Chain A
Amino acid sequence: MKPCKDLLAGISDFVDGSASDELCEEIRRHMEGCENCRVVVDTTRRTVQLFKGDELLEELPADFKERLHGSLRDAWLKKNAH
C-alpha cells in the first residue's frame, strides 16, 4: 500500500469524481485499510459541499441592496435619456 502522503495529491480529483478509474481504485483500497485517510477524504468532500450549497449564499446587506437598485435605476434613466 502506498504511503498516505502519496495519495494526498489525488484527493481533489477523487472528491470531484474526475479521478481516473485506476486512481479511484487505489484510493478506495487505501481507505479500506487506513482510517485517517478515510476521514480526510470524507471531510474534504464535505468541506467542498458546504461551500457549494446555494442555501448558504450570503444576503446582501439591506441598506446596500436598496442603494444598488436605486443606482441601477438612475443609471438606466441616464442611459436611456441619450
Chain B
Amino acid sequence: MKDSRETDEKLFDRAEESALVLRAKGGDFEAFDLLVRRCEKRVWTVAWRLLGTREDAENVVQSAFIKALEVLETFRGDSSFCTWVGRIANRKALDVLRRRKRERTSSLDELTTEEDFAPIAHPELLVDWREDPTRGVEREELRRILDSALLQLPVNLRSIFVLRDIEGMDTAQAAAELGISVSNAKVRLLRARLRLREELTKAFGGEALVHHHLEPGGLGGLAAALEDFS
C-alpha cells in the first residue's frame, strides 16, 4: 500500500505497532486503544467522505473498530493495523451506500451507467490556481471546501475517488472493493477528478476566474477559452 499509508508508516513505526498488537492480543486494552488512536483520523475521514452524514460515519467507524477488537486474534500483521482496520471500515461504509434507497439512481452496484459510456465532459474552468491555494485559508475552511466539492459527486464517482485518492488503494484494489472492472474504475476516477478540479477551481482560481465569475450572466470572457478547448 502506497501514498497516504506511507506517511502513516513513518509516523508509526511498524516495530512499535507490532509490539502494541502483541500487548493487545495479550489482553492490554491501553495498547489496543493506542492503536485505534493512531488510525482513527484516517478511518473517520474516509468514512465521512464516503458517506457524507455524521450519523452514518459514526456508526461505521464505531462498528469497524469494535469488529477489529472482536477479531484481533485474526490480525496477522501482513499489512499495517491501520490498513487492516481501514479495510473493515471501507466495506461497512460501502454496505451503507448500497443500502441507501435515495441514491439508487447512481447505485454503486451498477456495473456500468449511462455516464460511463458518455464522452468525458470537457473541462470548463480554464484558469490557473493561486500559487498556494491553502495560503490565507483556514484549515477548517479548506476542509469544508474539499468536503463540499466531494459531496457534490454522485456516489459512484465519489466512492472510487475516496478509495483511490484518499484511502490510498491502487486502482485494482479499489475496483475489487467496488465490484467493478479496472477499466470502469479508471473511467470513473478520471470523471471524478475532473469534476472535483472544476469545483476547486471555483474556490482557488486566480483573478481571471473571480472576475469573470462575478459578471452577470456567467463566465463571460471565458467563452473564448472554451471555444479553443475542443
Contacts and interface: CB of A to CB of B under 8 A. Distances in A.
Max chain B C-beta neighbours (<10 A), residue from A54, A59, A61? A54
Nearest to A71: B62
A52 B70 contact: no
B200 A60 contact: no
Contacts of B45: 57-58
B143 A56 contact: yes
Contact of B146 (A5, A50, A76, A79): A50
B212 interface: no
Given A50-B133, A57-B45, A69-B33, A9 B190 contact: yes
Contacts of A46: 129, 133, 200
B108 interface: no
A15 B49 CA distance: 22
Nearest to A18: B171
Majority-rule SS of B interface residues: helix
A46 B126 CA distance: 14
Contacts of B54: 61, 64
Contact of B143 (A8, A15, A58): A58
Contacts, number: 132
Name the interface size band of chain B.
Answer: 35 or more
A20 interface: no
B229 to A, nearest CB: 5
B133 A12 contact: no
A26 interface: no
A12 B193 contact: yes
Given A51-B165, A52-B3, A75-B70, A5 B193 contact: no
B223 interface: no
A62 to B, nearest CB: 12
Contact of B27 (A5, A12, A37, A80): A80
Interface of A: 3-5, 8-9, 11-12, 15, 36-37, 39-40, 42-44, 46-48, 50-52, 54-61, 64-65, 67-69, 71-73, 75-77, 79-80
7 contacts: A12-B193, A50-B200, A51-B166, A57-B44, A58-B41, A64-B58, A76-B69
Interface of B: 3-4, 7-8, 27, 29, 32-33, 36, 40-42, 44-45, 48-49, 54, 58, 61-62, 65-66, 69-70, 119-120, 122-123, 126-129, 133-134, 139, 142-143, 146-147, 150, 161, 165-166, 168, 186, 189-190, 193-194, 196-197, 200-201, 225, 228-230
